[in-house]
Structure 1
Amino acid sequence: MFIMQTLRRAVQLNGDGVATIFAGRRRSWRELESRVARLAGGLIGLGVKAGDRVAILSLNSDRYMEYFYGVPWAGAAVNPVNIRLAVPEIAYTLNDSGSTVLFVDDTFAALLPALRPQLEFVRHVIFAGDGEKPEGCLDYESLIEQSAPVEDANVGGDELAGLFYTGGTTGRSKGVMLSHDNLVFNALNVVAEMGYDRDTVYMHAAPMFHLADMASTFAVTLAAGTHCIVPRFDVDAVLQLIQQEKVTNTLLVPTMINLLASSGRIRDFDVSSMKRMLYGASPMPEAVLLSAMEQMPTVSFAQGYGQTEASPIITSLGPEYHVPGGAKLRSAGRAALGVEVAVMDADDREVPRGTVGEICARGANVMLGYWGMEAATAETLRHGWLHTGDLGYMDEQGFVFIVDRAKDMVISGGENIFSVEVEGAIYSHPAVRECAVIGIPDDRWGEAVHAVIVLGEGAEATESEIIDHCREKIAGYKVPRSVEFRTEPLPISGAGKILKNELRSPYWEGNQKQVN
């Protein structure tokens, strides 16, 4: 398979149809293909060769879309950089990958003075913003204007399509190597699961650097639909775009859906065009999901579970199972098309149905490995299975239930306590807007369950009230022993996941291990 097949098909099927909508710019698929061919010519003129890595550090835009196709058209591999990283972390990503060209927009051009002295391989910086070009940068539009189109390099199959760095919250950040086969296979799967077609208007509101959104980047193109883009998630901007452009589909991570559902703004906009909303990338509290379903009754919700190493989808839960009180609503669904899923014990033996173990997967979506990390690759892909690090179980019908990340599980008095379950109980309290549950050191129990909570605007609750509320929902040993209230939003990653490592850090300072 070839990434460029998705673009060529879109041009064949819908050449004059709208490909991208962003900041007042509307371009057809034919125009997009022409610009991509010229962008590839410009990159080759800068010395980019087959297999080279080309990076981007940018908010969402139509030029981000062109980057995703211009780089493989030139035979190179993409390296989309996490927008929430600090300068030293960005430099590590660029240096470790050996990226030779970097695209930046207006927002991240400001980091260049601090970033440039740390870069080992980047030879050219291309400014892909709309403001004034920073000194020492090449201009994106000038590069396209002044470059002749080139023939597609026709790179595909198991050749490297991109490096996608994981968050690095538990050590050295890993560069996940995904092939053309990986990404296009996943796109085919997403088209089938989401029902994308030429009439699809997909909104990119989650960050485009992340595989959760990127799955639809290639899938919507494959279906010859329309990409409608906002720079970053903002409740009013998202609702305004849905109303204005008659958006039909999107992906939002649970933190975004929570902000949307708790905003009180949905009723002020016409969101009737929305057909399906996919969510994933982190656990979805049931109370948040039910609130969103109630406020957007015409929207069909679907869940995708996976990770970067799986391109990313492993399982999916369709709209037919999104029924309040439904037996499968808390599950992550069943194995996606062409993906095999098993729950394994510590010896990599499949456990009986209903038994908690590590979720493992295999299929054409599974990564080539980690860039320059052979030992970590061998450990993660042992015995031919991708070991996700997620704990869960499978029922008799093949539905997978995620109980926690292995690293987020709290072990208190010898009992395994899954933070996701405790968070679900807390989110069902009407005053709670955001919460995260972590384990903190405890002299008696080893670890104690601690909740960090942000209340809704104007809402009130006390520590004892939250604890009593949880006692009605979950077993006593799972109930938080302490509650911390914050007024600022909880820290999140570029992908919208709550950064529990940052919440844990003050409590574990001076400990060599994050367990007690």
Structure 2
Amino acid sequence: MERRVLDIEPLIALDPSWPVISLAQAQAALTVPGSKFEMDVAEIRGVPTRVWKYAPPSLAFLIQAARAYGQNVFTIYEDERVTYEANYRAVATLATKLLEMGVAKGDRVAIAMRNLPEWPVIFFAAASIGAIVVPLNAWWTAGELEYGIDDSGTRLLFVDDERHQRLVESAPALPAVERIMVARASGPLEGRASRLEDLIGTPTDYAALPDVPFPQVAIDTDDDATIFYTSGTTGHPKGALGTHRNLMTNIMSAGYASARSVLRRGETPPDPTPRTMLTVIPLFHVTACSASMMGVIATGSTMIFMRKWDVVRAMEIIEREKVNITGGVPTIAWQLIEHPDRHKYDLSSIEAIAYGGAPSAPELVKRIHEEFGALPGNGWGMTETMATVTSHSSEDYLNRPTSAGPPVAVADLKIMDDEGTTEMPLGEVGELWARGPMIVKGYWNKPQATAETFIEGWVRTGDLARLDEEGFVYIVDRAKDMIIRGGENIYSSEVENVLYAHPAVTDCALIGIPHRTLGEEPAAVVHLAPGMEATEAELQAWVRERLAVFKTPVAIRFVHETLPRNANGKILKKDLKILFEDRVGVAA
């Protein structure tokens, strides 16, 4: 059975001298003893594991060290600007108040709110006294929020006004919750609920807070720090129990990946300098919280929050604030590129557009580089890996636009067979397993699921992938999304990449629809670029010319909007099946 997937050629002509050094040479140069990326070996849950020797030990250490950035702006939300000094004072004040409330090490403190300046204050205040922070999906319904609150055993709940209103009717059914702190409440509060502003004021008040001593609680780097819930689309989500080491690892991994790209170009990596980032993905996901915010704080950079995504508003912010980095999911990059008024705004400050959570069209990689002069960025990770395991950017991404990049130096990848007992030969498709100091402890209160997924330091990802000879990983599908047509495997990304290569296609998804004799068949949902046209027959012919006939979508549905995604950018394929109800049971 054919196991390989289609490779896409490099999108631009790269300097023939690139790469100046190999990945192995770059790693050796960056990790020499005494360097900032030197590695060590630590025993994590009984497994010897490579770690970053000089990673910060805890979230408490990080936020106290970041006070040195003083009057650098940390967060911007509309007309509210919070400096690092002001943020530090708010964190120290709230952490002290939490201790006075009786919050102890190991207690769960949940956050259910949109991206606001209060969010990182709550996060670091709770984590700094040893509590376990539970970032809840602000997009969830009241019932879903109630599940996360009950499942985690949350004692103290922080919400914004919108989430509070959503939970008002459910609040009596939250037996473990002792107090509810509401940010920006629009009306009077009753019962367990009180205003967050009564403790720390509004963000504009943070700079005037007293300089209270920062609470000193003994925290080990492998202590529990967070419970992030998976974004699974079937059944209840599982809470991934992360540690301080997991989050601190991402700081070093991001710096390492950036330095590796520079070395591959033959240049000397510069010292980190503050950058301005337009953050449009929610902090309740590891991509924004771990992969983005940790690095922002470590470098004294600035995060800008938007109440909701709006491409015109985003371009205004980029121009006014001289934003250097943005992204999040591919849809955002496409909307910036294709907006008819883009030329009216000065977007020249953008240096990088990065995204994760979903594969992107190879054409997008090229257009980011050509139209913005910016470097594209992607990578692979998941809730169970606290985000970054691989990082893909710059020339490497332009050279391998369908890859998710190579692993960072402290991570290992392998491809295993369906049974999880045999490692697959190089280039073959199987289940991706990952190992390293970023892997979480397991699932909260789910020992069986933990035992099935986390094995001797490795996490079984459920992703189908392959590795090339240099260690670059190619994610070809989620195991549960692979389509099996009459015994033949069809990997979604393979067909999606071909569709993306068509000049009219900017968003697409391949799904399986039931078939009476074949089991299932491939079908596609497509969103076309503004002003472009393509027919079902044209796109089917396009795929048929490039792939085996059995991989050609038997039906294609066109939608006016980009495809539905969850908060982490993953396309909700189950929501697309309704478009093909007329095809169910159709014989070949």
CA distances 1:154-201 after superposition (whole Å, capped 9, x unpaired): 423111100000123132311000000111112221233346834222
Which SS does the other structure have where 1:100 is aligned?
A: strand
8 Å Cα contact 1:205/1:238 also seen in 2: no
Is 1:273 aligned to 2:349, yes or no? yes
8 Å Cα contact 2:384/2:440 also seen in 1: yes
Which SS does the other structure have where 1:111 is aligned?
A: helix
Is 1:203 aligned to 2:293, yes or no? no
**CA deviation after TM superposition for structure 1 residue 457, in Å:** 4.1
* Matched residue, 2:305: 229
* Matched residue, 1:332: 404
Is 1:122 aligned to 2:177, yes or no? yes
**CA deviation after TM superposition for structure 1 residue 319, in Å:** 0.7
Percent sequence identity over aligned pairs: 36
Which range moved further: 212-221 or 109-118?
109-118
Matches within 5 A, 1:422-461: 422-461=495-534
8 Å Cα contact 2:142/2:167 also seen in 1: no
**RMSD after superposition:** 2.4
State the AA in 1 paired with 2:253: N
Q: Distance in 2 between matches of 1:308 and 1:459?
A: 36
* Matched residue, 2:325: 249
Q: Distance in 2 between matches of 1:78 and 1:154?
A: 17
Distance verdict in 2 for CA 1:381–1:9, change over 3 Å: same
* Matched residue, 1:240: 316
CA distances 1:426-484 after superposition (whole Å, capped 9, x unpaired): 22334334321100101132111111223344544332222122223322111100112
Which SS does the other structure have where 1:465 is aligned?
A: helix
Matches within 5 A, 1:172-321: 172-194=236-258, 197-214=272-289, 215-297=291-373, 299-321=374-396
8 Å Cα contact 1:167/1:173 also seen in 2: yes
Q: Distance in 2 between matches of 1:130 and 1:241?
A: 27
8 Å Cα contact 1:52/1:77 also seen in 2: yes
Is 1:35 aligned to 2:35, yes or no? no
TM-score, structure 1 as length reference: 0.92
Q: Distance in 1 between matches of 2:386 and 2:326?
A: 18
State the AA in 2 paired with 1:442: H
TM-score, structure 2 as length reference: 0.81
Q: Distance in 1 between matches of 2:351 and 2:461?
A: 31
**CA deviation after TM superposition for structure 1 residue 70, in Å:** 1.1
State the AA in 1 paired with 2:396: Y
Which SS does the other structure have where 1:336 is aligned?
A: coil
Is 1:362 aligned to 2:435, yes or no? yes
Distance verdict in 2 for CA 1:278–1:379, change over 3 Å: same
Q: Distance in 2 between matches of 1:278 and 1:388?
A: 22
**CA deviation after TM superposition for structure 1 residue 272, in Å:** 1.5
Q: Which has the higher Rg, Structure 1 or Structure 2? A: 2
8 Å Cα contact 1:441/1:507 also seen in 2: no
* Matched residue, 2:65: 9
Is 1:102 aligned to 2:168, yes or no? no
**CA deviation after TM superposition for structure 1 residue 495, in Å:** 1.5
Which SS does the other structure have where 1:55 is aligned?
A: strand
Which range moved further: 420-429 or 64-73?
420-429
* Matched residue, 2:227: 163
Which SS does the other structure have where 1:295 is aligned?
A: helix
**CA deviation after TM superposition for structure 1 residue 81, in Å:** 0.9
8 Å Cα contact 2:231/2:568 also seen in 1: no
Distance verdict in 2 for CA 1:277–1:337, change over 3 Å: farther
**CA deviation after TM superposition for structure 1 residue 132, in Å:** 4.4
Which residue, 397, 406, 412 being the options, matches 2:485?
Answer: 412
Q: Distance in 1 between matches of 2:523 and 2:463?
A: 21
State the AA in 2 paired with 1:397: E
* Matched residue, 2:52: none
Which residue, 379, 384, 392 being the options, matches 2:452?
Answer: 379
* Matched residue, 1:514: none
Distance verdict in 2 for CA 1:251–1:8, change over 3 Å: farther
Distance verdict in 2 for CA 1:508–1:482, change over 3 Å: closer
8 Å Cα contact 1:39/1:149 also seen in 2: no
8 Å Cα contact 1:438/1:500 also seen in 2: yes
* Matched residue, 1:341: 413
**CA deviation after TM superposition for structure 1 residue 489, in Å:** 4.2
CA distances 1:92-143 after superposition (whole Å, capped 9, x unpaired): 1110001112222233233022331332322222112374455453212221
Which SS does the other structure have where 1:391 is aligned?
A: strand
Q: Distance in 2 between matches of 1:107 and 1:496?
A: 22
8 Å Cα contact 1:3/1:156 also seen in 2: no
State the AA in 2 paired with 1:312: A
Q: Distance in 1 between matches of 2:135 and 2:245?
A: 18
State the AA in 2 paired with 1:123: E
**CA deviation after TM superposition for structure 1 residue 237, in Å:** 2.4
Matches within 5 A, 1:114-153: 114-129=169-184, 131-132=186-187, 134-136=189-191, 137-145=193-201, 151-153=215-217
Q: Distance in 1 between matches of 2:352 and 2:65?
A: 24
State the AA in 2 paired with 1:381: F
